Amino acid sequence: MKKMVVLTGAGISAESGISTFRDSGGLWEGHDVMEVASPEGWRKNSELVLNFYNQRRKKALEVKPNNAHLILAEMEKYFDVTIITQNVDDLHEQGGSSKVIHLHGELFKSRSTLDPELVYDIEGWEIKLGDKCEKGSQLRPHIVWFGEMVPMMELAVEETLTAEIFLVVGTSLQVYPAAGLLDYVEKDVPKFVVDPNMPTMIPLDNLFLIKEKATEGMEQVKKQLLENYL
């Protein structure tokens, strides 16, 4: 089986009802991103940050994977698929994908503020002030905030270096280091980009642009893959 690596962003969850970042004018539920997604914001007002992610978690519990998530899961019948996602929702897992690398963390997990190795599943939708880890420190969202390290990047680069097919679905490619993954794709590897608005920075070699929403665009990609790349 050929190795397929897929980089996804907020656009793949848009048709499930989760708004993207840049389509919402750069504000997140009316908040400045540094207020609710940075260590400074956490230090300034932890309760505001906890509530911001509680609201996103509550919303994420109400939505379902869409056709694009389902097609990517179906591709596991034909290819060795690794999903590298910038999304913190669990729609890839719900859709049936079995190998998902979350570059920016996971909405349904919490983490100790004392020991980052202590990560917990969140039952329900809330982390509250006073919720503590086993070492007695406040729990925080298991999310990579702006200015923080991206621990899964090394694994993502390793996977990308050995990709034989590379897909980019629903990301503006404006946030690094995630967007930098494209630099690690071999020149002769076919690259499929699915996005109704073409991202500014896209690879030039062996490129197939599908200017469609993910649910439709992934149907076209599936057809091409099964016809020409098995």
- Of all residues in this chain, which one has the CB nearest to ligand APR in the complex? 11
**Site membership for ligand APR, residue 9 (CB under 6 A):** yes
Taking a C-beta distance cutoff of 8 angstroms, is the pair 195, 11 a contact?
yes
Structure tokens of 146? 């702006």
x/- mask, ligand APR, residues 170-199, rule CB under 6 A, reads xxx-xx------------------xxxx-x
User: Whose Cβ is closer to ligand APR: residue 133's or residue 194's?
Assistant: 194
Say if residue 199 is preceded by a cis peptide, omega within 30 of 0.
Answer: no
**Site membership for ligand APR, residue 65 (CB under 6 A):** no
**Site membership for ligand APR, residue 21 (CB under 6 A):** yes
Query: CB within 8 A of 11, min separation 6: which ones?
Result: 20, 169, 170, 171, 172, 195, 196, 214
Based on the residue annotation, tell me whether 104 is a catalytic residue of this protein.
yes
**Site membership for ligand APR, residue 11 (CB under 6 A):** yes
Quick one: three-class SS letters along 146-205? CCCCCCCHHHHHHHHHCCCEEEEECCCCCCCCHHHHHHHCCCCCCEEEECCCCCCCCCCC
x/- mask, ligand APR, residues 110-149, rule CB under 6 A, reads ----------------------------------------
Active site residues: 104
User: Which parts of this chain interact with ligand APR (CB under 6 A)?
Assistant: 9-11, 14-15, 20-23, 86, 104, 170-172, 174-175, 194-197, 199, 213-214
